[in-house]
Amino acid sequence: GLDLGTPTGGPLFGRILLWAAYFAAPIWTASAVFEAILNALRPPVWRVKSIKNKIVIIGGGELAIGFLNRIKAAGNTHRVIVIVDKSQHPHLDALRSYRRVRVFVISGDQMYRLRRYPLHKAHKFLLLSERDDINFEVASLLLAQDPELGSKIVYHVSNLRFLRVLQDTAIVRQCTTFNQYEMAATQLARERLMRRFKATDYRDTVVLAGFGRFGQSILEQLDHHASGAFSRVAIIDLRAEQRALIADEEVVTARKYTRYTYEGDVDDPEIWQRLFTEVVIGEQEPVFVITTGNDETNLRCAIWLRKQFPGAMIISRTLAPSYFAESVCAEHDVVSVNTAALAQASIPHAWYR
């Protein structure tokens, strides 16, 4: 503007635009700089005015959404504050869709700002990050500030082996810990498998196709709650032997069934032929639980097994809710379950009331 001077001629509209540009440009630039400075001085957690009687959720993944669904059903969303780490790629759109839930996005190092608040006034702390180290760190931070907070802290641990090693430590004794796969497996065992065992007048054969965290948790629940109701367990997995040995770490009594392991891909026809020859014998049709990490593989395998065993109980797992999987499974008399819904259904009311 100083170089060109003020507009003295030309169309009126053009002169108005030029005058507007002269004033708007520096204001726009200054506002952007001011906003950057403000954000630096006032990070998101600093804007959390009060946590009194609030349910503070740390994490923004599927597990956090499951808890929010239960809290919403109870009509308590106005009491919820969600704090998410932007580096964890949280489901922000889904989180912000819950009416009256306040969502704050931070960087990981800002979590320590929680110490500024009167933490004892919060109602609950639900530590639901997909990273165990974040949940352990925040739980430790809270207990360091006030050891009496233990009864208010519920946190998720994805690594069950690590959790079991820490059973005698204060961070586990004083707080409530859980694993979503263990919760989902417990729900599945109660709703489906135990009913099946009670309905048959013989000891069933159980085939676990896929033996990751969910498959291992299913077998553990059956060991604890339905021991003696089944006579054989067959495991198909790329690391079947190793994972079966890991599962044995938690067995405190002698097994009341015979276990078979088949190392290889669930899509390998030869493995199934061997299993049909060695395990699935007699007229009793088995229980198949297909729990690989690939939804398409689970669905294809379940439909194929239905053609081989018209009367068998077949369960196909999806990682997230799928209308497609549910509709296809319904057509073929296959039970479709998903880990997220099973875990959500088994969340105790005391954790969020």
Q: Domain tally for the chain?
A: 3
Q: What is residue 49's predicted lDDT score, i.e. its pLDDT? A: 62
What φ, ψ does residue 156 adopt, rounded to 5°?
Answer: -95, 140
Q: Is residue 1 part of a domain?
A: no
Q: Are residues 92 and 123 in the same domain?
A: yes
Q: Is residue 328 part of a domain?
A: yes
Q: Are residues 90 and 160 in the same domain?
A: yes
**What is the largest distance, in Å, between two alpha-carbon atoms of the chain?**
100
Average pLDDT over residues 263-275: 95
Q: Are residues 104 and 215 in the same domain?
A: no
> Which of the residue ranges 15-29, 57-71, 272-286 would you say has the lowest mean pLDDT?
15-29
Q: Is residue 71 part of a domain?
A: yes
Q: Are residues 52 and 82 in the same domain?
A: yes
Average pLDDT over residues 141-163: 92
pLDDT(97) > 50: yes
Q: Are residues 188 and 100 in the same domain?
A: no
Q: Are residues 124 and 214 in the same domain?
A: no
> Which of the residue ranges 42-46, 121-125, 251-255, 278-282 would you say has the lowest mean pLDDT?
42-46
Give the residue numbers spanning the domain of 226. Answer: 182-345
Q: What does the alpha-carbon distance between residue 232 and residue 259 come to, in Å, rounded to a whole number? A: 6
Helices (H), 232-294: 240-248, 269-278
Q: Are residues 154 and 272 in the same domain?
A: no
Q: What is residue 39's predicted lDDT score, i.e. its pLDDT? A: 53
pLDDT(323) > 90: yes
Average pLDDT over residues 62-87: 91
Q: Is residue 2 part of a domain?
A: no
Residue 168 tokens read as: 């005698």
Q: What is residue 63's predicted lDDT score, i.e. its pLDDT? A: 93
pTM for this structure?
0.80
pLDDT(285) > 80: yes
pLDDT(46) > 50: no
pLDDT band of residue 321 (cuts 50, 70, 90) is: confident
Residue 283 DSSP symbol: S
pLDDT(47) > 80: no
Q: Are residues 25 and 55 in the same domain?
A: no
pLDDT band of residue 38 (cuts 50, 70, 90) is: low
Q: What does the alpha-carbon distance between residue 32 and residue 344 come to, in Å, rounded to a whole number? A: 42
Q: Is residue 7 part of a domain?
A: no
- Mean predicted lDDT score pLDDT of the chain: 87
> Which of the residue ranges 108-112, 141-145, 212-216 would you say has the lowest mean pLDDT?
108-112
Average pLDDT over residues 175-181: 95
Q: Are residues 73 and 161 in the same domain?
A: yes
pLDDT(4) > 70: no
Q: Are residues 193 and 330 in the same domain?
A: yes
